[in-house]
Amino acid sequence: MQIDPWSSNKLEKYAHIFKEFGLNEFKFEFNHYLFSRGIVVAERDFKKIYSAINNKKTFLQLTGIASSGNLHLGHKLDVDFFLFFRNLGAKSLFVVSDIDAYLSRPDSKINNLNKAKEFAVENIADLLALGLKPEEIYVQSNKSNDYYSFAFSISKKITESMFQAIYGHINPAKMSAVLLQLADILHVQKLFGAYPTLTGIGLEQDPHARLTRDVARHLKGFETPSFFYFKHQSGLKQDSKMSSSNPDTAIFLNDSPSTVKKKISRSFTGGRDTVEEQKRLGGNPDVCKVFEIFKFHHPDNEFVKDIDSKCRAGKLMCGECKKLCVDFLNDFLKSHQEKHKEFLPLAKSIVFKKPY
Ligand code: SF4
């Protein structure tokens, strides 16, 4: 079996994937809703990170997004995890991968690097609005020669058969994008030293994790990086992934209040066919996209538990619940979008500053 990190399909059957690829179930405890609601599912070598946190030792973090579109709630989750570990003391960098966006995405959407840079400006304004510091963010295309020399030197550690075995194909553009992804994760150790290094990813990104770990083992003076794997937020439609390629499946961070209302009103729920039936039998939050938004993003555990129990007991109807969700999202987005606007000039200066 091969996992395609460039597919936008949903990955199911976690247990099968764990077994096939040697992932460990995530069993570490943190007192935070991101870890208490079953969102984090697996890890590779996380014990090194857990030990560093508990013993107040240095550890590093690298996370990133490809600037191939506007950010949605699914991307916010990456940022929430980044901020969680940054606040626990990780020396952290967040890469906005404009070259990766240009090389890996369909030509029609990102047909030149400038288009990816335009999205990078918007994305970075979002990152700053969510709480990242400017010095924690970099853009692939304006890194210095050292970074690129390192990326090319990594290619000497990867054979054609390794690439074929992990990805199932050899595509020059994607190979180049992969080299930069590996350079991103490993070069934080060149900057800060060979310390335990953490990256949070979705399960479909595991091929990159395996290759990065393989390469790190063959490089002198590098700590093999650790990974944790979280569930992607699913799309608003039944059986969909929240994806920039399909705007109706996602709540974007720049959506207007009326767009949010429209998308939530049309989203798939675990409600029954009639109000009478729902009162009698209760709803099913386990399959409900509205509940998933609360589960992944609402910081108040009591609120989320209350929605869950009232839904199951038939004491909450979907119309009322959707209204709570629209209000929650629009409150958050109003303040986020105001900050985003203020941060745009700073974001532009980060994207277009001289190579460093
Ligand atoms: Fe989903 Fe809320 Fe309806 Fe329950 S009441 S199925 S959580 S929308």
Q: Quick: pLDDT tens for 284-314.
A: 999 999 999 999 999 999 999 999 999 999 9
| CB-based pocket (< 6 A), ligand 1 | 269-271, 283, 285, 288, 290-291, 307, 311, 316, 318, 321-322
This prediction's pTM: 0.91
Check residue 352 and report its DSSP letter.
T
pLDDT at residue number 5 = 53
pLDDT at 35 over 90: yes
Give the pLDDT score at 1.
53
Write down the mean pLDDT value for the chain.
91
Cα distances (Å, whole numbers) of residue 131 to 126, 135, 165, 203, 336: 9, 12, 39, 25, 10
- Give the integer Cα–Cα distance in Å for 64 and 66: 7
SS3 144: coil
CA–centroid distance, 288 to ligand 1, in Å, is 6
Q: Which pLDDT value is given to residue 280?
A: 97
pLDDT, residue 155, reads 86
SS3 190: helix
Q: What is the pLDDT of residues 146-202, one digit of tens each?
A: 998 998 898 888 888 888 888 777 777 778 888 888 999 999 999 999 999 999 998
Of 12-26, 197-211, 231-245, minimum mean pLDDT range:
12-26
Does residue 107 surpass a pLDDT of 90?
no
Given a cut of 60, whether residue 7 has pLDDT beyond it is no
- Percentage of the chain with pLDDT > 70? 94
Q: What per-residue confidence (pLDDT) applies to 177?
A: 81
Our mutation pick for probing the ligand 1 site, out of 234, 277, 289, 290, counting the most ligand atoms within 8 A of Cβ, is 290
More confident residue, 170 or 258: 258
Most confident of 19-28, 75-84, 109-118: 75-84
How far is 136 from 62, CA to CA, in rounded Å? 10
Amino acid at 312: R
- What percent of the chain has a predicted confidence (pLDDT) above 90? 70
- Helix boundaries (H) for 138-274: 145-155, 160-167, 172-192, 206-218, 257-265
Q: How far is the CA of 80 from the centre of ligand 1 (A)?
A: 24
Please state the φ and ψ torsions of residue 151, each to the nearest 5 degrees: -60, -40
Mutate to test the pocket of ligand 1, among 266, 269, 323, 327 (most ligand atoms within 8 A of CB): 269
- Nearest-CA residue for ligand 1 atom 3 is 318
CA–chain centroid gap for 341, Å, is 23
307 C-alpha to ligand 1 centroid (Å)? 8
C-beta separation of 186 from 216 below 8 A: yes
Question: Given pLDDT bands bounded at 50, 70 and 90, which one contains residue 215?
Answer: very high
The residue contributing the CA closest to ligand 1 atom 5 is 318
Identify the pLDDT of residue 13.
58
User: Which of 55-59, 66-70, 288-292 is the least confident region?
Assistant: 66-70
* N-to-C CA span, the chain: 40
Per-residue pLDDT, 320:
98
Give the C-alpha separation, 274 to 163, whole Å: 53
Cα separation of 101 and 165, whole Å? Answer: 23
pLDDT at 356 over 80: no
Ramachandran class of 354: left when φ > 0, alpha when ψ lies in -120 to 50, beta otherwise: beta
Nearest to 203 by CA among 2, 68, 5: 5
Q: Determine the longest span between alpha carbons in the chain, in angstroms.
A: 67
Work out the average pLDDT over 34-58: 96
pLDDT at 110: 83
